[in-house]
Amino acid sequence: MTAIPQLIEYIGTWLAAAALLTFIFRIWKRTFSLRLAFTIICGVVPFIRYGGESVAGYVLGVYGSLSIVTIVLVGIKAAENLTLEKYITRDERGITYTLLAAAGLVLYSTSLGLTGFSAYRSGLGSPSFVVGLFGVAVLLTFLRLRLPALLIAFAVAAFQLRLLESVNLWDYLIDPLLFFFALVLSVNYWIRQLVKLVRNP
């Protein structure tokens, strides 16, 4: 594995560890300096070695490469935990996860070989996929849904720089853990919306 994808993997594991461990240890109850120190210390987690392999190596081996979108989202979460600010509105988050869940459903269901079509193949240089993705990103911008548009821009920029091992654009946009996470959160979001609608018709 070359140095840059490995560095990205370490950063992703660090941010994920920071977002997760902050939640587990309820670190938001502490002072800013303590929260900052904790976030920095979490940077050690990817390098902890056990059985001849680092935590980042186990994440990569067992789970696979994290997508750029996952890394940006856990980065935002880690920043929110650090500053105790909310950078994303509930609606923006809900719609982002809904879009990710929908994309994941198409991507993963068509990759099982049950039909001759696989959406994953389009990530390897299909002009229609790139044009379609650009169209979706522009539409999201006009709908003032900045988060999903920003995530697409980050993923595409990382793809242009080939920051991951893969040269498939899909691998920069989504990964299985993000898909399952997005699926659960989007269902939760739409149930809440429905309940709100029923209570305040």
Residues that bind other proteins (CB under 8 A): 1, 6, 9, 52-53, 56-58, 60-65, 107-108, 111-118, 120-121, 124-127, 130, 134, 137-138, 141-142, 144, 146, 149-150, 152-154, 156-157, 160, 165-171, 174-176
Residue labelled with tokens 């595409």: 156
Q: Hey, what long-range contacts does 84-91 have (CB within 8 A, 24 or more apart)?
A: 84/28, 88/147, 90/189
CA dist list (Å): 12 to 59, 72, 115, 170 = 10, 8, 34, 17
CA–CA gap between residue 152 and residue 169 (Å, rounded): 10
Of 6 and 185, which has the nearer Cβ to other proteins? 6
Q: Nearest approach, Cβ of 179 to other proteins (angstroms)?
A: 9
Neighbours of 154 (CB within 10 A): 18
The amino acid occupying position 151 is L
Of 82 and 137, which has the nearer Cβ to other proteins? 137
Q: Nearest approach, Cβ of 12 to other proteins (angstroms)?
A: 13
Q: Nearest approach, Cβ of 120 to other proteins (angstroms)?
A: 5
Of 42 and 173, which has the nearer Cβ to other proteins? 173
